[in-house]
Amino acid sequence: MNRPVLILIVCVILVSLTACAEDYRVPWDHSWVGEMEIHDVDLSGYSDGVYRGYFIYNNFTYVVDTYVLMHRYEDIVVVSNKDSERARAAVAVVDRVLEQQTLLVDVVSGASNTSKALLKSIERGFEDAE
């Protein structure tokens, strides 16, 4: 087989594999986290209790326990967060949720991806309870 034909076959295979990848992302591109939509939770449909949620991002699992009392956010505890300055700053998003009683809060400037990861963890805790 001649070299140009072999190169063409390899290129076709690579393009086909890339096109077939349902969720292809470049490993260093984390823009999808910042663009991720956060959905509010209607707490009227949930009993008092603790709701644990997870979100995996950048080879790390964020874990959040959300305490609900009388259909309100009573407390939110970040069980697992990265150990970095930005990650520690992002925890302020929890105070915003408690203060405003909604997940539709502004993310922490300079820590937007981790803020979104924490918010998604809270949201998923309720999804898992359904």
- Read off the DSSP letter of residue 43: G
Q: Nearest 5°: CA angle at 113, between 111 and 118?
A: 95
The closest of 43, 60, 64, 57 to 118, measured between CA atoms, is 64
- Read off the DSSP letter of residue 106: P
CB 128 within 8 A of CB 66: no
Instruction: Give the amino acid at 85.
Output: E
CB 113 within 8 A of CB 57: yes
Q: Which helix (H) or strand (E) holds 110?
A: none
Answer yes or no: pTM beyond 0.85: no
pLDDT tens for the 130 residues of the chain, in order: 687 767 777 666 755 555 544 444 445 567 788 889 999 999 999 999 999 999 998 888 999 999 999 999 999 999 999 888 888 999 999 999 999 999 999 999 989 999 999 999 999 999 977 7
